[in-house]
């Protein structure tokens, strides 16, 4: 199974190299990046081939590619891969707009290639455990969620994360989609309505996009959930952020912290405590699923359609934040 | 100073204990039936009165610890008799009532305090002080939560009657509405959702609210009557542009008991508990007592109580109508 990586605009791309290498069925054919200095450096570091253009990587005939570009570059790269009959694992959010997300899904459907959205939380072992407890009936009916996916300002990884054009937005765009996807998965229901409030108090001088974001979403069956996707973790917090929620059911509450499995290490070099994660690597399980889906010629556990549905919620949230009232889905 | 306490539920008993730690004298006690008041009256050497009218001539201050829907009428009666008043939160079940209570107290020149006790809990006060000192810069996103089990009452459970208590959004979440406003200032809009299970085997109420403050900060408030007794947990997270405050009642419990279980009855309502040299309820009553004597002002005013009722009423309206509610400027709050 030959896999390539397109763009390292998203820093996850380097982690995916490790994940691909850890899968014995995979041959990393090489990487391409429009920022050739960055691409060459990473290719050298990991001992893989650097392709000067995305087209030349496609011509090398990979079975699948992982796309880690800026959000607004997902569409042209997915369309290029799909046109070449190559399966796609696309970084989240699958696009910055519903328009692009639909085009991405359609392009892959028409080309009959697999489109998987990089939603690693679907492969988080604590979150999978909760899913199986829901499905077993042990927890009874689910009523609502209070959820957080807060982070630090991601600018330290890449500048484009805080650029309105490249990313499509700020904290709301960056972190809402994971929890929306988890809730759609748990509830097997679609979002009907979205309310959002945003602000820019954190890093007000540094960025133009929103850094504070709270949403309250309602599903078709009336169940509801709040999502805090703020970039509210300071850089001196023990980790980058986290994903956690309280789920209220007819039996009470389940409180889940997907990144709780860590050591606290008090480090002289940092001058503070840090959290070192020892839980299972969800990215590995996600990449393995992509490979298995290609191998078995089937849909992956999380698809491009799931990515599109999450982007719809994000776009509705921006409209609500602007208008001050909840916004109904589907969008007009 | 003679204090008359109305109501002998958890709050009436707690306030009586707090008053006993001041120089004030508990002069009278009223309960729904005289027999219910006897034990408490005997403990503090107080007289049991059959009703408010009978007690008022014999006390200087009335401390109202009765169900929310009864506050309005009692405050109007006590104020018109020239008595200073301490009233449990929520100040009233409705904004219009709370306004009238405040205006009536002003008319008769009596003092009115509302017992938003959360402001007296040391962790909440310390967070407020840290913010006022600029330790975390300007607050941007506040997350406040409070959770316990559905209040139980052998008879007449007024907590669960939304017409009387306002349900979870008003009775429980008003604590954090008030606190959010204390930290981030006046609230401009509110959007809220709640769920109340009708299934008697699933005693679950849960509410979520998003507040937008006039200064641009946003607050997320959640309230739960959903956990198994005797759970009571609170959480604070206030993120500023130069720092972050976190508080978790479970994580900061100085004692964790892992005792072999023995059947025991839990109390009727979930209560916070952390070992302290002085109960926050006592701190509160002492501060009101000093304020009544004109020694110093209290950290929470009747106007704050009205503002909190307004936010809670906005939450109820939002949950019912499914839209965000804009809160109007109240002259009683701003003046």
Considering only alpha carbons, which residue of chain B is nearest residue A228?
Answer: B220
Same-domain check for residues A96 and A10: yes
Q: pLDDT tens-digit profile of A231-287?
A: 999 999 999 999 999 999 999 999 999 999 999 999 989 899 999 999 999 999 999
User: Which residue, A121, A144, A172, sits at the end of a domain?
Assistant: A121
Domain carrying residue A92: 2-121
Contact (CB<8Å) A218/B193:
yes
Same-domain check for residues A111 and A126: no
Closest partner residue to B210 (CB to CB) among A141, A197, A253 is A197
Same-domain check for residues A177 and A51: no
C-alpha to C-alpha distance for A294 and B292, rounded to whole angstroms: 76
C-alpha to C-alpha distance for B40 and B42, rounded to whole angstroms: 5
Q: pLDDT tens-digit profile of A206-236?
A: 999 999 999 999 999 999 999 999 999 999 9
Contact (CB<8Å) B241/A216:
no
What pLDDT does B7 receive? 97
C-alpha to C-alpha distance for B72 and B91, rounded to whole angstroms: 8
Residue A213 forms part of a structural domain: yes
Per-residue pLDDT, averaged over A20-32, amounts to 97
Contact (CB<8Å) B191/A232:
no
A252 touches chain B (CB under 8 A): yes
Same-domain check for residues A86 and A6: yes
Q: pLDDT tens-digit profile of B105-156?
A: 999 999 999 999 999 999 999 999 999 999 999 999 999 999 999 998 777 8
Q: CATH topology of B2-116 equal to that of B118-274+301-321?
A: no
Q: pLDDT tens-digit profile of B259-292?
A: 876 666 667 788 777 889 899 999 999 999 999 9
Q: Pairing relation of β-strands A262-267 and A224-228? A: unpaired
Closest partner residue to A214 (CB to CB) among B202, B210, B228 is B210
Same-domain check for residues A156 and A30: no
Instruction: State the CATH number of the domain containing residue A114.
Output: 3.40.50.720
Does position B22 have pLDDT exceeding 90, yes or no?
yes
What pLDDT does B269 receive? 81
The model's confidence at residue B256, banded by pLDDT at 50, 70 and 90, is confident
Residue A301 forms part of a structural domain: no
Does position A135 have pLDDT exceeding 90, yes or no?
yes
Residue A212 forms part of a structural domain: yes
The model's confidence at residue B197, banded by pLDDT at 50, 70 and 90, is very high
Domain boundaries, chain B: 2-116, 118-274+301-321
Instruction: State the CATH number of the domain containing residue A148.
Output: 3.30.360.10
The rounded mean pLDDT for chain B is 95
Considering only alpha carbons, which residue of chain B is nearest residue A212?
Answer: B141
Q: Judge contact between B113 and B298, C-beta under 8 A.
A: yes
Q: Tell me: cis bond preceding B113? Omega within 30 of 0 counts.
A: no
Same-domain check for residues A163 and A106: no
Q: Which long-range contacts (CB under 8 A, 24 or more apart) does B45-50 make?
A: B46/B5, B49/B4
Does position B201 have pLDDT exceeding 90, yes or no?
no
A304 touches chain B (CB under 8 A): no
B228 touches chain A (CB under 8 A): yes
Same-domain check for residues A24 and A133: no
Residue A297 forms part of a structural domain: no
User: Which residue, A100, A121, A142, sits at the end of a domain?
Assistant: A121
Closest CA of chain B from A143, distance in Å:
7
What pLDDT does B270 receive? 81
A203 touches chain B (CB under 8 A): yes
C-alpha to C-alpha distance for B20 and B27, rounded to whole angstroms: 11
Same-domain check for residues A116 and A164: no
Q: Which CATH number fits domain B2-116: 2.40.30.110, 3.40.50.880, 3.40.50.720, 3.30.2420.10?
A: 3.40.50.720
C-alpha to C-alpha distance for A265 and A268, rounded to whole angstroms: 10
Closest partner residue to A252 (CB to CB) among B189, B216, B227 is B227
Neighboring chain B residues of A204 at a CB cutoff of 8 Å = 241
Residue A81 forms part of a structural domain: yes
Residues 6+ apart with CB under 8 A from A9: A33, A35, A68, A69, A70, A73, A158, A160, A166
Contact (CB<8Å) A253/B216:
no
Contact (CB<8Å) B202/A326:
no
Contact (CB<8Å) B226/A252:
yes
The rounded mean pLDDT for chain A is 97
Contact (CB<8Å) B208/A216:
yes
Q: Judge contact between B218 and B141, C-beta under 8 A.
A: yes
Residue A157 forms part of a structural domain: yes
What pLDDT does B262 receive? 66
Contact (CB<8Å) B227/A253:
yes
Residue A292 forms part of a structural domain: no
What pLDDT does B63 receive? 98
ipTM: 0.92
Same-domain check for residues A316 and A244: yes
Same-domain check for residues A135 and A167: yes
Contact (CB<8Å) A230/B140:
yes
Q: Judge contact between B209 and B317, C-beta under 8 A.
A: no
Closest partner residue to B216 (CB to CB) among A193, A195, A201 is A201
CA pseudo-torsion sign B322, B326, B327, B331: negative
Same-domain check for residues A78 and A182: no
What pLDDT does A209 receive? 97
Q: pLDDT tens-digit profile of A99-128?
A: 999 999 999 999 999 999 999 999 999 999
User: Which residue, A52, A86, A121, sits at the end of a domain?
Assistant: A121
What pLDDT does B272 receive? 78
Count of domains forming chain A: 2
Closest CA of chain A from B139, distance in Å:
8
What pLDDT does B267 receive? 75
Per-residue pLDDT, averaged over A60-67, amounts to 98
Assigned architecture for domain B118-274+301-321: 2-Layer Sandwich (3.30)
The model's confidence at residue B335, banded by pLDDT at 50, 70 and 90, is low
Q: pLDDT tens-digit profile of A148-170?
A: 999 999 998 899 999 999 999 99
Contact (CB<8Å) A203/B204:
no
C-alpha to C-alpha distance for B161 and B69, rounded to whole angstroms: 10
């Amino acid at each position: 199974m030959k896999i390539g990586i397109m763009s390292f605009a998203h820093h996850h791309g380097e982690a995916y190299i490790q994940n691909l290498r850890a899968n014995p069925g995979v041959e990393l054919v090489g990487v391409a990046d429009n920022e050739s200095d960055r691409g060459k450096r990473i290719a050298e570091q990991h001992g893989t081939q650097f392709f000067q253009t995305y087209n030349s990587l496609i011509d090398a005939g990979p079975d699948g590619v992982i796309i880690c570009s800026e959000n607004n570059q997902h569409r042209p790269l997915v369309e290029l891969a799909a046109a070449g009959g190559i399966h796609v694992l696309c970084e989240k959010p699958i696009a910055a707009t519903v328009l692009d997300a639909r085009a991405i899904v359609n392009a892959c459907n028409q080309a009959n290639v697999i489109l998987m959205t990089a939603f690693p939380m679907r492969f988080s072992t604590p979150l999978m455990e909760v899913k199986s407890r829901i499905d077993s009936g042990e927890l009874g009916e689910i009523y609502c969620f209070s959820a957080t996916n807060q982070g630090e300002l991601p600018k330290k990884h890449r500048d484009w994360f805080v650029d309105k054009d490249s990313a499509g937005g700020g904290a709301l765009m960056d972190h809402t989609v994971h929890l929306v996807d988890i809730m759609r998965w748990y509830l097997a229901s679609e979002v009907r309505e979205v309310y959002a409030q945003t602000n820019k108090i954190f890093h007000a001088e540094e960025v133009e996009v929103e850094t504070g974001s709270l949403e309250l979403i309602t599903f078709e069956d009336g169940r509801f959930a709040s999502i805090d996707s703020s970039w509210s973790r300071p850089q001196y917090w023990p980790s980058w952020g986290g994903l956690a929620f309280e789920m209220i059911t007819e039996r009470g509450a389940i409180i889940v912290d997907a990144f709780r499995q860590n050591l606290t290490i008090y480090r002289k070099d940092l001058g503070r405590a840090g959290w070192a994660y020892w839980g299972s690597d969800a990215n590995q399980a996600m990449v393995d699923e992509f490979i298995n889906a290609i191998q078995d010629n089937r849909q992956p556990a999380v698809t491009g359609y799931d990515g599109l549905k999450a982007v719809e919620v994000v776009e509705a949230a921006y409209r609500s934040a602007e208008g001050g009232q909840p916004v109904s889905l589907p969008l007009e | 100073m003679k204090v008359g306490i109305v109501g002998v539920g958890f709050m009436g008993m707690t306030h009586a204990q707090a008053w006993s730690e001041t120089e004030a004298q508990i002069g009278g006690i009223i309960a729904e039936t005289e027999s219910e008041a006897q034990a408490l009256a005997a403990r503090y050497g107080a007289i049991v009165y059959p009703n408010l009218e009978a007690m008022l001539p014999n006390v200087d201050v009335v401390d109202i610890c009765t169900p929310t829907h009864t506050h309005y009428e009692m405050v109007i009666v006590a104020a018109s008799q020239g008595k200073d008043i301490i009233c449990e939160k929520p100040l009233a079940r409705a904004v219009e009532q709370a306004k009238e209570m405040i205006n009536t107290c002003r008319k008769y020149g009596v003092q009115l305090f509302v017992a938003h006790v959360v402001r007296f809990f040391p962790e909440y006060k310390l967070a407020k002080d840290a913010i006022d000192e600029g330790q975390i810069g300007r607050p941007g996103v506040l997350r406040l939560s409070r959770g316990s089990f559905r209040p139980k009452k052998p008879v007449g459970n007024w907590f669960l009657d939304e017409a009387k208590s306002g349900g979870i959004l008003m009775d429980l979440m008003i604590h954090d509405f008030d606190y959010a406003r204390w930290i981030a200032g006046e609230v401009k809009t509110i959007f809220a959702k709640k769920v109340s299970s009708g299934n008697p085997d699933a005693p679950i109420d849960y509410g979520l609210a998003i507040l937008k403050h006039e200064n641009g900060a946003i607050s997320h408030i959640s309230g739960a009557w959903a956990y198994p007794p005797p759970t009571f947990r609170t959480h604070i997270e206030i993120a500023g542009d130069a720092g972050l405050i976190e508080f978790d009642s479970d994580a900061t419990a100085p004692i964790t008991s892992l005792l072999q279980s023995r059947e025991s009855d839990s109390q009727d309502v979930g209560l916070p508990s952390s070992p302290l040299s002085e109960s926050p309820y006592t701190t509160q009553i002492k501060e009101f007592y000093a304020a009544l004597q004109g020694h110093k002002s209290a950290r929470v005013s009747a106007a704050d109580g009205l503002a909190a009722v307004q936010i809670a009423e906005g939450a109820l309206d939002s949950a019912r109508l499914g839209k965000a509610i804009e809160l109007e400027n109240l002259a009683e709050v701003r003046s």
